[in-house]
Structure 1
Amino acid sequence: MCFRAPKRSGLMAVSIGAQEMRVGPPAAGLLKQPPTGRPRVAVLLPLPFPGPFDYAAPPDLPAPPLQPGDIVTVPLGRRTETGVVWDPERNLPPEFTPPPMKSVADGRLKPVIARLDQPPLPASLRRFVDWVAAYTLSPPGLVLAMALRTGTAAQAAPALGWAVADPPPGLRDTPARRRVLDIAAHDGPLTAAELARRAGVGTSVVRGLADAGALRGVTMTPRPAFVRPDPDHCPPALDGEQAESARALRALAAEGGFSVTLLEGVTGSGKTEIYMEAIAACLARGKQVMVLLPEIALSSQWTGRFARRFGAEPALWHSDLGPRLRRVTWHAVADGTARVVVGARSALFLPFAELGLIIVDEEHETAFKQEDGVTYHARDMAVVRARMDRAPVVLVSATPSLETLANVGAGRYRHLVLTARHGGATMPEVRTIDMRAHPPERGLFLSPVLTEAIRQAIGRGEQGMLFLNRRGYAPLTLCRTCGHRLQCPNCTAWLVEHRARQILTCHHCGYQEATPPACPECHAESSLTPIGPGVERITEEARATFPDARILVMASDTLPGPAATADAVARIARREIDLVIGTQIVAKGWHFPHLTLVGVVDADLGLGGGDLRAAERTVQLLHQVAGRAGRAEAPGTVLLQSYTPDHPVMLALVSGDFESFMRQEAEQRRPGFWPPFGRLAALIVSADTPEAADATARALGQAAPRGDSLQVLGPAPAPLAILRGRHRRRLLLRTRREVAVQPLLRQWLDRVTPERGARIDIDIDPVSFL
């Protein structure tokens, strides 16, 4: 076996982020026949190899012959692996094409063992796997592993049911047997368990009738795993801007073909109802739909709205699904019986048979960036997947990312804007509380202005919300006696106190320890003091301030999954809760009709540090939080506790002028060619020892590419200089928009050999700079 070299072919343009990239057309799909010997078959394995291996097609394989996309088993060393027959021509842009691999003689090729009875991977998904691997400089097998996840497991065997047979002579008649035979004659075939349940008898009665020949076994046709949504089930009543935008999206979905549209609308403007009309038009064409959500917690309320509109629930795809349901869903997507799939970013790699529309809800969310393993941005890769499948993609947000707005400004993306809330509801009034003029009492964190507003809202029978994007009780614990700070032993991060569980934990690596009774440094007892607030500490203060209020905490620590989140949202909707206290999970697209007051405990949080996107992210997050306040006839109020009320972010939130703020952000980034007007790629060196990390980082710095259109920053210690016990250094490559970074990075890495125990990770278009 050998690695195959990809070949080049015609390309077409696609814009992601603010970059113009090229995508190859469909490959010919033919296996290569050498002049002599057996046909060569390229097989990509879900392992970190730089390309597919060549195998020989087995001569005794049942018809039809192997084709690209077939899932096969092959030998690899002394073990057997599952892989996918790959395309001879991989159709990558020239700047993405890795160097060719060596070939071997036909006689040394090992044969494919078998073809599995599984749906083949579609050509568009295979091209997508290649494209993501080439763009992110990841081994294509690791990308394939995301597409094959649980898909190669066999479906469950069809169930055996029982139907009535000709009654044998001399059959003993009993009331129990008569009930079983009557139900089997009327409703059969049914499984033995279901037949016994309906007849109110034990399964032994069913087995006795089968043994006597009164029931015959029948292979039951499996029912579809998912009910087909009805596009005409319950269409909404839309008017004005909503109706106009819905008509535009329905037309795009009905026509098909690749396009990108930004649906921008203020919170509560009906964006979900509008893009569901595009889903309806796509379903009417007989096509499938993929909907990406940034948080799985959102799926509970979203699926309820979907079911009301279409009379059926969508298929879900996320990490909390059990293995059996994942397998069933994967196959239902592949055979087309799952018509709408809503899921996390990994849904991008499902084998859609007839993908006709992609929706990316809350497209600005950084949760769409995959940070571990293959690093990719699901929003940008959704645009590429839509191009591969020649389908429209709709990006949805109340606060679009600067990258998406740049594409709109350049004419690459269409733009639909909703300026008013649905049903005549007004936008909330946003005000800042100057914490210098209205400070909280000593040891507390809520300004008297905010506590009085909450008291009045609860007194009117309305609901309030307190937002703080910080989990736990306190972000830092120190000793009053010696000043020692409790730090994670594996990371350069402080341990966060979770008082309810009496533990200290690291939110980066998961390390936990019991809260010590004394300082581990000076051993002074009762000297450890929490510094700063987390949501647990705010909850403690709120319970003391509002002793009669019914309080609910919404954080990832208290809501472990979608079911718990759905229950919490239902309790809020039933008005069983007076005050919601939460982290960023409450900022998502929830609909709380009776919530009229939102208080942001620390509006300045997130503005510090050297993050390029700090201001943009803070505006987006707080605008989303503010959007939870007020619906229908109940106007909303948002109070921002801030020590810098004159900061441009605070001024933009108070004025509601998101457009001017983003224009100012763009003008600040443009001169230095920062995204979206330039390109970034991060190289993260990690090693077991600081010496190995420093040596590898220095070697990278010395071998760094040079040129007028690019700049290399670093090496320097990462903000998290130690993470999970590994020492980390960073370098950042910055270029103009028109420069492809992949060939630069490939040549750069070829000139450096990492120290023993060191690893170099690449992050194209980084979002996090930790």
Structure 2
Amino acid sequence: MSRARILILNAALGPLDYRVPAGMTVEPGSIVVAPLGPRQLLGVAWEAERMPSDAEVGDNRLRNLLAVADAPPIRAPLRRLVEWTADYYLAAPASVLRMTLASTSALEGARTAIEYRATGVVPPRLTPQREQALERIADRQGLIRELATIADVSDAVIRGLVKSGAIEAVEVDIDSAYPVPDPDHHQPILSDDQRAAADVLVAGVRDHAFKPTLLDGVTGSGKTEVYFEAVAQAIRDGRQTIVLLPEIALTEPFLKRFHDRFGVEPVAWHSGLRSTQRRRAWRAIASGEALVTVGARSALFLPYANLGLIVVDEAHETSFKQEDGVHYHARDVAVMRGLFEECPVILASATPAIETRQQVATGRYAELKLPGRFGVAEMPTIEPIDLIQEPPERGRWLAPRLVKALEANLEKREQSLLFLNRRGYAPLTLCRTCGHRFQCPNCTAWMVEHRLTRRLACHHCGHIEPTPRVCPECQGEDTLVACGPGVERIADEVTALFPTAKTAVVTSDTIWSPAKAAEFVGRMEAGDIDIVVGTQLVTKGYHFPNLTLVGVVDADLGLDGGDLRAAERTFQQIRQVSGRAGRGAKPGHVFIQTHSPKAQVMQALITGDADAFYEAETEARRDAGAPPFGRYAAIIVSSEDQGCANDVARLVGRSAPEVDGMHVYGPAPAPLAMLRGRHRYRLLVHAKRALDVQDVIRDWLGKLDWPSKARVTVDVDPYSFL
């Protein structure tokens, strides 16, 4: 090639043509360094016919490419996925490609780094801090900062130990090979249902063909052990596997289960990795050395050399939908990657989404069912507590019957879980004298009190401020009152009721890394926690045999707001958290506190009749032409200037095309009318399933001009309506 079309990592520009200098080899997929003005940008060579350029430039005006990266080319199936994702979600191809080239240092070739380890020499001046450092570091190795964190000492202490000879520097290859998982390390004993499902999945991996399968099993049925058999087959075939998890906090427990089954940990990919760890993982994935990768949704776009299996665990989880940048849904993109890679895709869930169930109903997806729990474990009994008939005591949030159950569980030395999907102490703080309410200065949202950290925090933009002693409006002292409960307030109530019980609050504020999740799991398994008070973070993935009681503090919370999927989400969340109870030999009990025990979703949870609930919800969606029987797309207009945002939103609304089978609602101020300092307006496009709504929106918005200070974002298949 003397000329190459390059998709550079600049979303504002389309593909650009460059000259390939003599002696440089560039093929479709080659990762290159290209000049753009005075800058040097990464890009990927693309087929010209698949990526049209806005302006053809003569050969004499082309600039030379500067270099080809020391990395394998991006394979054709992944290039097709980038194209599809950009087209379907109306995103710039460069924005999607950026997720593929997620570690720029991985493109720099082989590298070494200096790490440190103990030598066994005892320094002559052994202070208490030095002694602590040597004891905790033991045989560990890492950077100075990492060793200081492990030892809970300052960097200066570690540097002093280096000078004394107690710790030495070693040069390490930061791209050292990962250990290979052993598919026969530990052969699990499977039930008949598990074995039958595993055999089907293993056959699918052997066939090396695209086949999406829903693995639908009740909580505690052993879905992970079943799809591990398919992973083992992919390892035997020398092919790579992706396992997607919805939460970073689930990664550490999963790594432990994987290690027990395969003898080593898989390659991890998530936002908590250091840059050197990301580099090593990316290069191992691109070379085909990393046989199993477990990670968050972004792991889906990495350049796997020989992909043989994709697993989406907890596939119903809404956190698989990306709400910033490219608004993709990892569950759906995973299926498309399986199509392009010609490999099977497993969607594992105890509460599959209606969209997935409909794909099964139409025959596009296969289905495997695990109707019972593994071994002697039985599904828990579920009882409603009508908060109108059995209200909590004044100033409290736990009904008497739930309190008695907690007390009985403590006497039996069994563990309990209280679930409330609301972080912090209270969702609203106001002044009882003048009525002032604390609102985020950047968002139309109330500031949430976090009493553990003595802060008011916005859960939308991250703004924090100290909890004031006096009302900023009337200067009244002791007039501020917390309204409503969060998990911290429930934990305070538990402490007041059971002062000797060991209580833990589990939210994204307390479990923010895999290491913190591992610490929580260790304490639960050691019996160091009696009562867990947690948010949705504890509804999935965890297996604690001694946890026998679950109390849902406010089952009605998720039904607020008029969301399309409110009832489905509530059912999934409470069904999942109920599944934490009775996963071992001891029976489990669940209490659901609600003001509406006769509501359809509550009756489905109490009776366990999930099919009737899903059938009714599906018919309601069908009647409304809502997904999966219709199409939604949200158009969000935002600007720091409210007038500008309003004008552009009205322009978009006035310009809406008249298309048969499509309706446009709005513009209207978004429920979150201001977010991160930007005023927001929303339009909702509702279309028939058969309509190619992306082409309509692309043509519609492509004809409009708006000021640069306004931003117009399209969210295809939206999950958030805020």
- Distance in 2, Cα, partners of 1:635 & 1:541: 26
Please state if 1:460 is matched with 2:412.
yes
Out of 116, 123, 129, the residue aligned to residue 76 of structure 2 is 123
Please state if 1:674 is matched with 2:626.
yes
1:607 maps to a residue whose letter is: L
2:585 maps to a residue whose letter is: E
Superposition pairs of residues 641-656 of structure 1, within 5 angstroms: 641-656=593-608
- Distance in 1, Cα, partners of 2:282 & 2:704: 41
1:104 maps to which residue? 57
1:53 maps to which residue? 16
Shift of 1:202: 11
Superposition pairs of residues 541-620 of structure 1, within 5 angstroms: 541-620=493-572
- Distance in 2, Cα, partners of 1:451 & 1:221: 56
Secondary structure of 1:376's partner?
Answer: coil
List 4+ stretches of structure 1 deviating above 3 A: 155-160, 201-204, 219-224
1:105 maps to a residue whose letter is: G
Shift of 1:159: 8.8
Question: Which of structures 1 and 2 has the bigger CA Rg?
Answer: 1
Out of 430, 434, 438, the residue aligned to residue 486 of structure 1 is 438
Secondary structure of 1:407's partner?
Answer: helix
In structure 2, do the counterparts of structure 1 residues 692 and 640 end up closer, same or farther at CA, with 3 Å as the change threshold? same
Greater displacement, 402-411 / 749-758:
749-758
- Distance in 1, Cα, partners of 2:218 & 2:300: 27
2:34 maps to which residue? 74
1:274 maps to which residue? 226
Offset from partner CA, 1:209-242 (integer Å, 9 cap, x none): xxxxxxxxxx999985311111111121112211
- Structure 2 unaligned blocks of 5 or more: 115-161
1:317 maps to which residue? 269
Shift of 1:553: 1.1
Superposition pairs of residues 264-413 of structure 1, within 5 angstroms: 264-413=216-365
1:14 maps to which residue? none
2:701 maps to which residue? 749
Please state if 1:719 is matched with 2:682.
no
Shift of 1:560: 2.2
2:48 maps to a residue whose letter is: P
Shift of 1:157: 3.3
Q: TM-score, normalised by structure 2?
A: 0.90
Residues 90 and 127 in structure 1, CA contact (< 8 A), matched pair in contact too: no
1:515 maps to a residue whose letter is: T
Please state if 1:420 is matched with 2:420.
no
Offset from partner CA, 1:62-119 (integer Å, 9 cap, x none): xxx211111111110111112111122328xxxxxxx861212111111111212222
1:530 maps to a residue whose letter is: A
Residues 69 and 107 in structure 2, CA contact (< 8 A), matched pair in contact too: no
Secondary structure of 2:652's partner?
Answer: helix
Out of 680, 686, 690, the residue aligned to residue 642 of structure 2 is 690
1:700 maps to which residue? 652
Residues 46 and 142 in structure 1, CA contact (< 8 A), matched pair in contact too: yes
Out of 532, 538, 542, the residue aligned to residue 490 of structure 2 is 538
1:486 maps to a residue whose letter is: F
Secondary structure of 1:67's partner?
Answer: coil
Secondary structure of 2:619's partner?
Answer: helix
Residues 14 and 53 in structure 2, CA contact (< 8 A), matched pair in contact too: no
1:113 maps to which residue? 66
1:36 maps to which residue? none
Residues 503 and 512 in structure 1, CA contact (< 8 A), matched pair in contact too: yes
Please state if 1:638 is matched with 2:595.
no
Q: TM-score, normalised by structure 1?
A: 0.85
Residues 504 and 513 in structure 1, CA contact (< 8 A), matched pair in contact too: yes
- Distance in 1, Cα, partners of 2:379 & 2:31: 53
2:453 maps to which residue? 501
Residues 155 and 328 in structure 1, CA contact (< 8 A), matched pair in contact too: no
- Distance in 2, Cα, partners of 1:220 & 1:665: 57
2:39 maps to a residue whose letter is: R
- Distance in 1, Cα, partners of 2:172 & 2:325: 42
Offset from partner CA, 1:134-184 (integer Å, 9 cap, x none): 111111111111111114442443699xxxxxxxxxxxxxxxxxxxxxxxx
Offset from partner CA, 1:407-447 (integer Å, 9 cap, x none): 00000000001110000311000111011111111111111
In structure 2, do the counterparts of structure 1 residues 224 and 80 end up closer, same or farther at CA, with 3 Å as the change threshold? closer
Residues 632 and 716 in structure 2, CA contact (< 8 A), matched pair in contact too: yes
Offset from partner CA, 1:178-216 (integer Å, 9 cap, x none): xxxxxxxxxxxxxxxxxxxxxxx9999xx9xxxxxxxxx
Secondary structure of 1:424's partner?
Answer: coil
In structure 2, do the counterparts of structure 1 residues 607 and 223 end up closer, same or farther at CA, with 3 Å as the change threshold? closer
In structure 2, do the counterparts of structure 1 residues 500 and 619 end up closer, same or farther at CA, with 3 Å as the change threshold? same
In structure 2, do the counterparts of structure 1 residues 602 and 202 end up closer, same or farther at CA, with 3 Å as the change threshold? closer
Provide the identity percentage: 52
- Distance in 2, Cα, partners of 1:475 & 1:288: 45
Shift of 1:751: 2.9
- Distance in 2, Cα, partners of 1:500 & 1:703: 50
- Distance in 2, Cα, partners of 1:753 & 1:744: 17
- Distance in 1, Cα, partners of 2:303 & 2:87: 20
- Distance in 2, Cα, partners of 1:143 & 1:500: 39
- Distance in 1, Cα, partners of 2:484 & 2:163: 63
2:246 maps to a residue whose letter is: P
- Distance in 1, Cα, partners of 2:213 & 2:224: 14
Please state if 1:86 is matched with 2:46.
yes
- Distance in 2, Cα, partners of 1:222 & 1:418: 43
2:72 maps to a residue whose letter is: P
Shift of 1:340: 0.1
Considering only aligned residues, what root-mean-square deviation do their CA atoms show, in Å? Answer: 1.9
1:670 maps to a residue whose letter is: R
2:186 maps to which residue? 234
1:145 maps to a residue whose letter is: R
- Distance in 2, Cα, partners of 1:601 & 1:113: 61
Shift of 1:311: 1.0
Residues 457 and 464 in structure 1, CA contact (< 8 A), matched pair in contact too: yes
Please state if 1:515 is matched with 2:467.
yes
Residues 559 and 570 in structure 2, CA contact (< 8 A), matched pair in contact too: yes
Shift of 1:653: 0.5
- Structure 1 unaligned blocks of 5 or more: 1-30, 32-38, 92-98, 161-200, 208-218
Shift of 1:608: 1.3
Shift of 1:344: 0.2
1:44 maps to a residue whose letter is: L
- Distance in 1, Cα, partners of 2:273 & 2:234: 26
- Distance in 2, Cα, partners of 1:220 & 1:439: 63
